[in-house]
Amino acid sequence: RNYSPLHVQAIVKLGSGPSRGHSSQQLQRHRFGLHGERIQQWSASKILKKRKRSSLFSAPSAKAGEEADKDLSTFSGSVAGKSIPAVATLLYIYWVFVSELPPGNSLVNSDPSTLKLAMELSENFWFILPALNFDWVPSINPVMEGLFNFVVTWMIMMFGFYSEERYQRRVKMLPFLAMMPFLTNAVYLPYLAIREPTGKALSLDDTKELNMLESVTESKNFGRLLGLVGLLSIAWALLGRQEFGQ
């Protein structure tokens, strides 16, 4: 039988067998002890391997985050980074304002009823007037109301990047943010094309010098509020205004 070095060491220490004054039970206990050590060593090696695997999926370090921000900033300032949103702007404006392609007529040739619907959807912004249940509040298909409010809320979320304006020397961000809820991508895409890459995120030192609007948009409650409105928009589209049916 082949013995491991640990077995050989135990046999030499205890003797070759019962003839040296040690019973088979004593040898058996020592063998179990050696197996216990092996199990402990095996368990420790498994734990180390598991830690190594988990470290591969751990959160990136601050240095890695800075390098990622730098790479993204480099791309956004490159020719490709500027060209992609610029081309997307031209295509979007052509599709919405000029083209007669689906889902409907262009803005130039819009039906008066479409413009009337847009005004009524604006009146029901964030479901404030429908919640007050006034008689004069326009009754609109809830799916259209939910979609309208969801898209507008999505654009308002862009205010969360308002603190970036302090790093913009030529372009002021606030006018673009103010128009985004009304014109959506027709304003958002051009801003991406002309903005200056910042290369860094807002630091803790910068947060001590926030103005009033930056303090609001950097607050977690700002994101929670918009998220709640987004969920309400989905719920309204599915369950609102039962007179329109299921």
Chunk the chain into consecutive blocks of 10 residues (it has 246) and report each block's average pLDDT, rounded to whole numbers: 52 48 52 53 60 51 54 62 89 88 79 87 90 86 94 94 83 92 91 79 64 90 95 93 74
Query: Torsion angle, CA of 194/196/197/201, rounded to 10 degrees?
Result: -120
What is the pLDDT at residue 7? Answer: 53
Number of residues assigned to the chain: 246
Task: Tell me if 218 sits within 8 A of 159, measured CB to CB.
Answer: no
Spell out the residues 6+ positions from residue 55 whose beta carbon is closer than 8 angstroms to its own: none
Radius of gyration (Cα) for the chain, nearest Å? 34
What is the pLDDT at residue 19? Answer: 46
Query: CA 27 to CA 24: how far, in whole Å?
Result: 5
Task: Tell me if 154 sits within 8 A of 230, measured CB to CB.
Answer: yes
Looking up tokens 């913009």, which residue turns up?
A: 168
H-only helix segments in the chain: 5-14, 24-56, 62-76, 79-93, 112-123, 128-132, 142-156, 173-183, 185-194, 204-207, 212-217, 220-239
The whole-angstrom distance between residue 168's C-alpha and the CA centroid of its chain comes to: 24
What is the pLDDT at residue 97? Answer: 85
What is the pLDDT at residue 142? Answer: 92
